[in-house]
Chains A and B, each alone.
Chain A
Amino acid sequence: MNDTLPKWVDILLIPMINLALALFVSGIVVALIGENPFEALAILVNGAVGSAYGWGYTLFYATNFIFTGLGVAVAFHARMFNIGGEGQAAIGGLGVALVLLFVPWPHWSLALLAATLGAAAFGAAWASIPAYLQARRGSHIVITTIMFNFIASALMVYLLSRVLLVPGAGGAPETARFAEAVRLPSAYDIAPWLGFRRSTPLNISFFLAIASCIFVYLLIWRTRLGYEIRSFGKSEPGAIYAGISPFKITMIAMLISGALCGLMATNSVMGEAERLVIDPVQGAGFVGIAVALMGRSHPVGVFLAALLFGVLYQGGAEVEFEIPAITREMIVVIQALVILFTGALDNMVRLPMERLFLSMRRKPEAPMPTRTEEKAGS
């Protein structure tokens, strides 16, 4: 990246154009299957942010996506692509379940603290093997993390159907329900005057997600370690020359990334399901990729992009309910287009923008040489 573009264009205008393109193409898809895209969009927005009920789900989804988005973003800063958020979050869920099932916690606050540590430790542990293989053996982290997603999914099925299964639970592969004492306060418990219903999934781990955003900001831009991560990501030879150990940074960045993805389980496993089920992640690990790309790997951007995807997920469910012809998978299409335009086709918008801003910048500079000549002559 160079400095031909003003900062606001890079972090605001280009993502907005990319998002507009993604929505435009999605609109075409909706139109092609014979539905009105504007009507769908209205239902989507209204369903997501038009009521306290909608907000309860929107922010719940956003909480998941903040965690996984931050996880992918931290790895991006070290120029690593962590596709393994899905597996790391699932194993993080295992950590939460083990902590909550085998220790009788007296109060949810203690339990949340322990579950946070459990989720982070398990998520980080699952990321540690691909990280080690990348750092020491040069195995491509993208391929190993993809493989670890599948291994995690097989492991979870095995554990839930053979080991952690509750006898007499009707055969559904899930653990026992966590104790009532560790139930996290939901938005209804905290702020009933905002109109949240008793069943709202939004819970206190939303604040944990915000705290994680602040943590990542401080880590990346305000600590020595963050500086090392960023310099390693910008230029590996430069970082080595500066005495930064590639092994250390690869390991630490991936461990933090895995821990953040794992933390998602505090929201989905502890906050909502209150037990460990098959596939507690539901694709949020992959949404994290889109969120980190859109949010330009900055915590503020990640927060906003996660909110956007929360709106899409909740609103998409409403659209499916109102217009049965548009299935829930439409969200996956939009998600794919966002990844495509902001990630892979970024240069399609960026290059013309750079050309435009270069030409705008050249104009006032044009008379400069004549002036210097006059000076020289006088």
Chain B
Amino acid sequence: MSFLEILQILESSLRLATPLLLACLAGLFSERAGIFDIGLEGKMLASAFMSAAVAAYTGDVWIGLVAGIFASMVLAAIHGVASITFRGNQLISGVAINFLAAGLAVVISQAWFGLGGRTPQLQGPSRFSEVTLPLADAVSSVPFLGAIYANLISGHAILVYVALLCVPVTWWILYRTRFGLRLRAVGENPAAVDTAGVSVVGLRYAAVMICGLLCGLAGAYLATALGAGFVKDMSAGRGFIALAALIFAKWRPWYALGATLLFGLLEALGNRFQTVELLGVTIPTQFMQALPYILTVVILAGFVGKAIPPRAGGEPYVKER
């Protein structure tokens, strides 16, 4: 394998890791506040559809992005109402949201475009184009480092850089702000937060809506940067891989970056090679596809570094009277 080939695989890993990273950070906010969210997939899909549909209609990808985030946040609000206000089962609510998005996206796109459940192909300004970072052309002739800068780091859609930026921002919000401290506390011991006079309901809604915002970015990236338009079920289980990455990362932002890059790499390798030879054993591509899930089960089983979820996760908070 040549150096350039390795660069290409890494570059495609980064592109494929971006939606995972955004969705993973989305789940991180929600679950750190004690709201389990298995509806990441649905929110991503809703945003993918809405951003592609609006971008196709207006011809402006930024309006599409806003519309996608809006759609994702509407679903997040439903999840909030069900699991915070009505204290319903968060897992069941997530399942419902996944199906709601999967169904509505196809029904509405068929009604709007009549293309059998997809949106028209996006072109030009209705897609996120690749951003060439400054000096990329100038340094591309520099051996090794220049090639890395020009091929791997430069030349991605803006949302890739936004996603990477979200990692330190998330870390900073969670560990260096008052809001973050409270958010983490509400996922561990909501009664203590309540005793301190801070609204548990308010904090949890804030977390769920941030989750909606980030899922919206992830979905819009799928349809308007990675792809060129919405197709049925285009999230293809990425919401669940993000969930797996979240567990893999033990609910921490920097680990989330590592986990999603690893899963992105697995996907990139699976796309590029039908079979991988490792130590004389042929590994089928299906194994590569299943590997994120297998790794997550191993991590969950606690054989390699136990993953301990936020303690109050999944429990509706009932204020004592």
Contacts and interface: CB of A to CB of B under 8 A. Distances in A.
B90 to A, nearest CB: 8
Given A139-B302, A154-B289, A333 B88 contact: no
A315 B91 CA distance: 29
Contact of A344 (B92, B243, B301): B92
B147 to A, nearest CB: 35
A192 B300 CA distance: 53
B129 interface: no
A336 B103 contact: yes
Contacts of A144: 297, 300
Interface stretch (A6-14, A45-53, A107-115, A145-153): A145-153
Interface in A111-161: 129, 133, 137-140, 142-144, 146-148, 150-151, 154-155, 157-158
A107 to B, nearest CB: 36
Given A147-B297, A150-B240, A154-B286, A344 B107 contact: no
Interface stretch (B78-86, B166-174, B187-195, B260-268): B78-86
B108 A33 contact: yes
Interface stretch (B12-20, B94-102, B149-157): B94-102
A330 interface: yes
Contacts of A337: 96, 100
Contacts of B293: 147-148, 150-151, 154
Contact of B301 (A137, A150, A336): A137
B99 A332 contact: yes
A157 B286 contact: yes
Nearest to B36: A142
Contacts of A133: 297, 300-301
B47 interface: no
Contacts of B89: 81, 343-344
Contacts of B86: 344-348, 351
Interface in B160-209: none
Nearest to B232: A329
Contacts of B98: 336
Q: How large is the interface on A (under 10, 10 to 19, 20 to 34, 35 or more residues)?
A: 35 or more
A21 interface: no
A335 interface: yes
B294 interface: yes
Interface string B235-263: 00100100110010000000000000000
B290 interface: yes
Nearest to A349: B86
A334 to B, nearest CB: 8
A327 interface: yes
Contacts of A129: 297
A140 B309 contact: yes
B119 to A, nearest CB: 14
Most buried by A among B81, B287, B300: B300
Contacts of A335: 99, 103
B219 interface: no
A148 B297 contact: yes
B93 interface: yes
Contacts, number: 148
B153 to A, nearest CB: 31
Nearest to B98: A336
A33 B107 contact: yes
A158 B284 contact: yes
Q: Is the interface of B mostly helix, strand, loop or mixed?
A: helix
A309 interface: no
B228 interface: no
Contacts of A326: 107
Interface in B278-321: 284, 286-287, 289-290, 293-294, 296-297, 300-302, 309
Contacts of B102: 329, 332, 336
A347 B83 CA distance: 10
Interface in A300-326: 325-326
A329 B274 CA distance: 32
B117 A327 contact: yes
B139 interface: no
A335 B107 CA distance: 14
Interface string B94-128: 01111110111111101100100100000000000
A196 interface: no
A83 interface: yes
Most buried by A among B100, B103, B240, B247: B103
Interface in A139-196: 139-140, 142-144, 146-148, 150-151, 154-155, 157-158, 162
B272 interface: no
Nearest to A81: B91
Contact of A340 (B38, B82, B105, B244): B82
Given A147-B296, A348-B86, A339 B301 contact: no
Contacts of A150: 237, 240, 289-290, 293
A333 B99 CA distance: 6
Nearest to B86: A347
A348 B81 CA distance: 10
A151 B289 CA distance: 8
A345 B88 CA distance: 6
Contact of A151 (B107, B108, B290): B290
28 contacts: A29-B107, A33-B108, A81-B91, A129-B297, A133-B300, A133-B301, A140-B300, A143-B296, A147-B293, A147-B294, A147-B300, A150-B289, A151-B297, A154-B286, A154-B293, A289-B92, A329-B117, A330-B107, A331-B103, A333-B103, A333-B104, A334-B103, A335-B103, A336-B97, A339-B95, A340-B93, A343-B95, A344-B92
Given A146-B240, A327-B117, 12 more contacts: A33-B108, A137-B300, A142-B91, A147-B244, A148-B297, A154-B293, A158-B284, A293-B92, A334-B103, A336-B103, A344-B92, A346-B86
Closest 8 CB pairs of A and B: A332-B103, A336-B99, A344-B93, A333-B103, A33-B111, A343-B92, A154-B290, A336-B100
